[in-house]
Structure 1
Amino acid sequence: MLTKEGRPTLADGIALGLIATGAVSVAIGAVVAVVTAAFEVFGAAPTVSMPVHDVELTALDDVAGVSAATVDSALVTVPAMSSGARWMLLLETTLPALATVALCAGVWWLGVSLIRSRPFRASLGWLFAVAACLMIAGSLFGQLAGGIGRAIIVQDLTAASPGAEDVLWTLLVQFDLAPVGWAFALALVAGLFEIGRRLQRDTEGLV
């Protein structure tokens, strides 16, 4: 709701302020997650979730009603992890986090713009467009970087102890395309703000 002066009501202003604050909190959380991942990956003994194959879960052999059980991943601690693998695993976390920060920046600025009754700003369209691009890059390249990092680990383990490839996937990248769909939605939002800005400019020119 808007007041007679065109400003949001007090309740709307509070709601928009909470949304903007929440967006900032999420962005800070994404940055903290990257820093935490960096400390873990570059630590003395990093633990990585590795995809495995043909590994049975024998702990459930005596459970009634279970005929067979297998696992598709395992937490593997690799003290001698190469620097290339460490950087790839860090990129797996960093790239999606950048998209999150860009999206939250757009939501925060949109909230501030709505409070000021200036929703159609050129900067908003650019922010959401950048967030859409980063979301695609973060989703695809982030998952690819993680797969490459794990492949490097398997290669190093196999060189030191032949047979590791019999349990660990040499290279396995399972792409989640859901963020790509959200990125297309963001691209439409960016286009919407650009169209709204042009209409607003044309309307102001007629007054």
Structure 2
Amino acid sequence: MASPRPPRVLSGGDTIGFVLFLIGGVAIAVAAVVQSVVAIAQVLPNRDITLLAPFVATEAQAPLGPDGAPVAVQLDSASVTVASLQPAALGALVISHVLVAVAMVTVVTLLLILCFGILRGRIFSRAHTALVTAAGLVAIAGMYFVPFFHNMAVNGALALLSDGTYDRAVVGTVDLLSIFGVAFVVALAGTAFAVGDRLQRDTEGLV
């Protein structure tokens, strides 16, 4: 008859590493919340709002020539300031800041729960696989929706500056390559934990 296998005991170095990870995770979550709160407090009065706007193949003049003569350059990004934003654009900007905090806190919380489980001696389990997968999915969602809503606010600012004549709808601010990279890592980690859990259960059945 197979007997339950006792939980693995982590080495002192591993335990210290996980504890430092826990401390770092809490610090990251707190910093994300503070940063988002400060950013929201700055934009809620809806006065003199400055946004970083990405551009694609947009020509501009910069004083780079002799004696400050204008020289044609191409903008990748530029800061634009408007006296105020439309309600919809302001709402999108606030949502983008809220999502930063929500995504960071959620990812950190899920990973901290994972660390606590590992510190208890159980490395692979179905719950841990679910935690890794969920943390990755939340990170991917944040990487997509944060720039998406920020882009809505930027579009509103540029519409005000140009009286609606500047069209930048084709400009994408979502880094799909990074999202695909994170998705690959998440899938790999989830697979590793799932396989580890199955092998661990098979091994325990032989004890």
The TM-score, its normalising length taken from structure 2, stands at 0.76
Distance 2:170 2:37 in 1: 26
**SS of alignment partner, residue 126 of structure 1:** helix
**SS of alignment partner, residue 119 of structure 1:** coil
CA contact (8 A) 2:61 2:71 kept: no
* Structure 1 unaligned regions, length at least 5: none
CA contact (8 A) 2:59 2:73 kept: no
**Structure 2 counterpart of 1:91, one-letter code:** I
1:49 paired residue number: 52
CA contact (8 A) 1:99 1:132 kept: no
Identity, in percent, stands at 30
**Structure 1 counterpart of 2:123, one-letter code:** P
**SS of alignment partner, residue 8 of structure 1:** coil
Per the TM alignment, residue 105 of structure 1 is displaced from its structure 2 partner at its CA by 2.6
Distance 1:188 1:120 in 2: 14
Per the TM alignment, residue 100 of structure 1 is displaced from its structure 2 partner at its CA by 3.1
Instruction: Quote the RMSD (CA, aligned, Å).
Output: 3.0
Distance 2:27 2:134 in 1: 20
CA contact (8 A) 2:82 2:160 kept: no
Distance 1:90 1:180 in 2: 26
The TM-score, its normalising length taken from structure 1, stands at 0.76
Per the TM alignment, residue 74 of structure 1 is displaced from its structure 2 partner at its CA by 3.0
Distance 1:63 1:111 in 2: 60
CA contact (8 A) 1:88 1:149 kept: yes
2:41 paired residue number: 39
Deviations 1:62-101 (A, max 9, x none): 379x975454433223232112112222333443544433
Distance 1:170 1:199 in 2: 50
Q: How many residues align?
A: 196
Whether 1:13 and 2:15 are equivalent positions in the alignment is yes
* Structure 2 unaligned regions, length at least 5: 1-6
